[in-house]
Chain A
């Protein structure tokens, strides 16, 4: 079955520093989604990547899909305290249930 690894598990940064989380799959993906879960909240959709090598930006967030469609990354430039939360990737291969990575918990120190 599909194996998903998300790293790092935790990341503590000073406000203003950059942050990156990576999602790696053992199989070629049809698409990948990213979600953010604030402390005490529920996951909220951020973006979906479909094309090989795709790069999408949302303000300070940059999402990339690898050329082989097996890995993806989320990069946050100049983190702010509002970025605190857990970021989950949700890769999908064909008509399979949406399975989430274990997430990267981001703490931002003001």
Chain B
């Protein structure tokens, strides 16, 4: 596609439910990042994928968070047993390769946990 696509754009869920957030990177981009942005705050790194290498999961805040990238393209971020503090905008970004390359961001998924 022309840009990074994220879905859904908004997600409202109840505390304790699981949610899945999807990211379609720009075609040909081998590196994909997930970030979290709480209201009025900076971008918190969560995880990144580079080609077929093992992902860097060092930013995931708890074992309730996981992500996968199928076929080197689409990625899904899963949050299990959501908590109110998980409410934030989840941003996905892609680039040709990790390191020394600019990131292209999607419009994000606004997650609200009630």
Write the residues of chain A forming the contact surface with B, with a CB cutoff of 8 angstroms.
30-31, 33, 35, 41-45, 48, 50, 88, 90, 92, 95, 97-103, 105
Contacts and interface: CB of A to CB of B under 8 A. Distances in A.
B96 interface: no
12 contacts: A33-B102, A43-B105, A44-B105, A45-B102, A45-B104, A48-B102, A95-B99, A97-B58, A100-B43, A101-B42, A102-B41, A103-B42
Interface residues of B, number: 23
A43 B102 contact: no
Interface of B: 33, 35, 40-43, 45, 48, 56, 58-59, 91, 93, 98-100, 102-108
Most chain B CB within a 10 A radius of its CB, from A48, A98, A102: A98
What's the dominant secondary structure at chain A's contact region? loop
What's the dominant secondary structure at chain B's contact region? loop
A38 to B, nearest CB: 12
Nearest to A102: B42
